[in-house]
Amino acid sequence: MTAQPTTENRTAQLMDGSAVARRIVERTAARSAALVESAGVTPCLATVLVGEDPASVTYVKMKRNRCAKAGILSRHVPLPATTTTEELVATLTELSADPTVHGILLQHPVGPHIDERAAFEAIAPEKDVDGVTMRSFAAMGFALPGFASCTPGGIMRLLDAYDVDPTGKRAVVVGRSAILGKPVGMMLLARDATVTYCHSRTRELSSLVREADILVAAVGRPEFIRGADIKPGAVVIDAGYNEGNVGDVEFAAAAERASLITPVPGGVGPMTIAVLLEQTLDAAERLSGTSA
Provide the annotated binding site: 175-177
Cα distances (angstroms) measured from residue 12 to each of 87, 102, 166, 251: 49, 40, 18, 10
**Residue among 205 and 246 whose Cβ is closer to a copy of itself:** 205
**Residue among 139 and 215 whose Cβ is closer to a copy of itself:** 139
Interface residues toward a copy of itself, by CB under 8 A? 117, 134-135, 137-139, 141-142, 144, 167-168, 176, 178, 182, 185-186, 189, 192, 194-199, 201-203, 208
- Nearest approach in angstroms of CB 194 to a copy of itself is 4
Is residue 99 reached through a cis peptide bond, with omega within 30 degrees of 0 on the bond before it?
no
Stated as kind and residue range, the H or E segment containing 19 is: helix 17-39
Provide the annotated binding site for NADP(+): 175-177
- CB-count burial class (<10 Å; 0-12, 13-18, 19+) for 121: middle
- Nearest approach in angstroms of CB 186 to a copy of itself is 8
* φ, ψ of residue 137 in degrees (nearest 5): -60, -45
Cα distances (angstroms) measured from residue 257 to each of 14, 21, 98, 228, 230: 12, 25, 50, 8, 6
**Residue among 104 and 209 whose Cβ is closer to a copy of itself:** 209
| 2 contact partners, CB below 8 Å, separation of at least 6 | none
**Residue among 161 and 189 whose Cβ is closer to a copy of itself:** 189
- Nearest approach in angstroms of CB 142 to a copy of itself is 5
Q: Are 262 and 238 in contact (CB under 8 A)?
A: yes
Residues taking part in catalysis: 63, 107, 130
* Alpha carbon distance 266, 264 (integer Å): 6
- Nearest approach in angstroms of CB 159 to a copy of itself is 16
